[in-house]
Chain A
Amino acid sequence: MFWQQVINGLTLGGVYALVAIGYTLVYGVLGMINFAHGSIYTLGAYLAFTGVVMLHLPFPLAFLFALIVTAVAGIVVERVGYFPLRNASVDTQVICIFGLSIVLDNTIMLIWGSPARAFPMDLFPTNFEVMGLVVSPVQIIIIAFAIVTMGLLYLLVFRTKPGLAMRAVALNPEAANLMGINIGRLRLETFVLSAALAASAGSLIGVYYKIISYNVGLNIVIKAFVVSILGGIGNIGGAMVGGLVLGQVEALGAAYVSTGYKDAFAYIVMILVLMLRPNGILGVYTREKV
């Protein structure tokens, strides 16, 4: 029972880490709270659904389709909702981006309908047993994908020139601009990368639970935020650790405390972290101190 929940938590945690890395990248480079991140996640899930159910693509192709279309949508979203407000106050940005997420959620609802949609049950081979634990192939795919993606992102951010530019902009946008970094383009690229990460998480969770609905976005944003503060905002390694921690808290909490409160654990973790370790569990320095 316990180890079964640990595996479930690991799966959830991998997905949360993917979502949170995108969220924290946008916060670092654009300096904006990405309230629409959850809507983009939902869009990714619905596009994967379209690929599998309507276009009859095999899952890997549907997954790629979801990633590419979401990335293109990310370009539009960044130019419409984020770019015009780059110099506005935080309150203005937050309300505008919130409006944008309402628009996205409801567009999704208009296109795909408001009832929850289900993935076919026979998309993946059946579950198998390892040492008394039931493991589904989707869980293995999610965990493997999360590990590989996180590794690649780590290399991107810390070992390449665009990554250096991202870190420079996060540290000091004006100075970075003076050093010849095209901030407008970098913001767009970061946003698109974050949108693709959200879409991958959305489609993986979609095939894991086999059911998707249009109004989960806000919940996902909050989880992304909780994971980010667990690891310290703007800290990619921290987001990975934070994702795994939140995944375990939710899986074990749902199993041993109460399933009704499953989504409330994230908030409780958030309040505890902000009270006790405002710089995150890794205790590293962050730009914006609480």
Chain B
Amino acid sequence: MQVEQTAFPGLLRFQSKRSRNTVMGFLALALVFPLVIRGDYPVHIANFVLYNMILAVSLDILAGFLGEISFGHAGFIAIGAYTTAILMTRVLPDVWYGFWVALPIGGVLAALAGVVVGFPALRISGQYFFMVTMGFGEIIRFVLLNASGVTNGAMGITAIPTPSIGSFVFTERWHFYYLFLAILLLTLIPIVFLRRSYIGRAWIAIREDPVAAEAMGIRLTTYKVAAFAISAFFAGIGGGLLGIYLNFLHPSNFLATESILILTMVLLGGSGLIYGALLGAAIMTGLGEVLRPLGDTRMLFIGAMMMLLMILRPRGILGK
């Protein structure tokens, strides 16, 4: 494999006119959506679609590019969510820029956790890796539940303020829609960028054959740990959005099941494709809403869908 030494190939270069038109078309649709579709409920669902898209795309770096199926994404999301919420309620409660300072800090702390999880991932694989990542996510949840002095434990964090820009306060659902959309784009652009750079190609090489990749001069440690840190960073940013939107956080928002659902989104659409993760997030979120009238039976259908999907189309809807 020829390794290109340019770190930043053209980001806005599209593979074909058709792919450019598709991307621009979806972007235009996303921009006008709350203007055309009125009413709180559809916009509320759309907000969750965007939120899940951020999380699914961030997981795609690990599950898709690097080929490491992580079961602990909820841990990174929880770190971002709790850091943002705690900073906003305790440290910067009365200033308008509280959210804008807290959110990146949440991302960075999640990224540090990503480095911590990334190192053991170098030595272990298969079921050991699933269990270690799941164990990490659960340990985070136990800490959130038990370190009540900081996290308020099982009471959860309440009255998380809404973000604002100067005197403009995000109050309506569609305000949040555009905030989430902006952050999704700020997540997507660097990830597409990375995927097209030599870093992304190195990840793919490691996924395909770690030994050959190493022989080609790719440092496994650096690239794997970097993938974990970047994936965790965006998961933390995504998590930071949950608290300000719901005004409430609880450790049970971050169960291991949440990690599995996000992983299912990535695999449902097709892993490693980015747009696969976006499609998967839209379908899973929509399915959750469509099945809501079924109440408790909902999870039964989601579980059955996961099974059918893996038996019939293991590479996802868009996967080859």
Residues on A lying within 8 angstroms of B by beta carbon are: 27, 33, 80-81, 84-85, 88-96, 98-103, 105-107, 109-110, 114, 218, 222, 225-226, 229, 258, 260-261, 263-264, 266-268, 270-271, 274-275, 278, 288, 290
Contact partners of B142 in chain A: CB under 8 A: 260-261, 263-264
Contacting pair B128 A88 (CB below 8 A): no
Contacting pair B138 A222 (CB below 8 A): yes
In the assembled complex, the Cα of A110 lies from the Cα of B127 at a distance in Å of 30
Known: A92-B314, A258-B146. 7 other contacts (CB 8 A): A88-B314, A91-B69, A95-B267, A106-B296, A271-B132, A290-B124, A290-B125
Per-residue interface assignment for chain B, residues 228 to 252, with 1 indicating a CB less than 8 Å from any chain A CB and 0 otherwise: 0000000000000000000000000
Contacting pair A270 B126 (CB below 8 A): no
Report the minimum CB–CB distance from B245 to chain A (whole Å). 26
- Across the interface, B146 reaches (CB within 8 A) one of A85, A110, A260, namely A260
Contacting pair A94 B303 (CB below 8 A): no
Residues on B lying within 8 angstroms of A by beta carbon are: 69, 120, 123-128, 130-132, 134-136, 138-139, 142, 145-146, 256-257, 260, 263-264, 267, 296-297, 299-300, 302-307, 309-311, 314
SS class, residues of chain B in contact with chain A: helix
In the assembled complex, the Cα of A213 lies from the Cα of B34 at a distance in Å of 42
In the assembled complex, the Cα of A222 lies from the Cα of B139 at a distance in Å of 12
Contacting pair A91 B267 (CB below 8 A): yes
Contact partners of B135 in chain A: CB under 8 A: 222, 266-267, 270-271
Contacting pair A99 B307 (CB below 8 A): yes
Contacting pair A102 B314 (CB below 8 A): no
In the assembled complex, the Cα of A95 lies from the Cα of B127 at a distance in Å of 12
List the B residue with the shortest CB-CB distance to A96: B310
Contact partners of A260 in chain B: CB under 8 A: 142, 145-146
In the assembled complex, the Cα of A266 lies from the Cα of B136 at a distance in Å of 11
Q: A99-B303, A275-B120, A290-B124 are in contact. Are A264 and B296 (CB under 8 A)?
A: no
Contacting pair B306 A271 (CB below 8 A): no
Contact partners of B69 in chain A: CB under 8 A: 91, 94
Contacting pair A88 B139 (CB below 8 A): no
Report the minimum CB–CB distance from B256 to chain A (whole Å). 6
List the B residue with the shortest CB-CB distance to A104: B303
In the assembled complex, the Cα of A225 lies from the Cα of B138 at a distance in Å of 15
What are 17 A-B pairs at a CB distance below 8 A? Answer: A88-B310, A90-B127, A91-B69, A93-B310, A95-B267, A99-B304, A99-B307, A101-B303, A103-B304, A106-B296, A106-B299, A222-B134, A264-B142, A270-B132, A271-B135, A278-B124, A288-B126
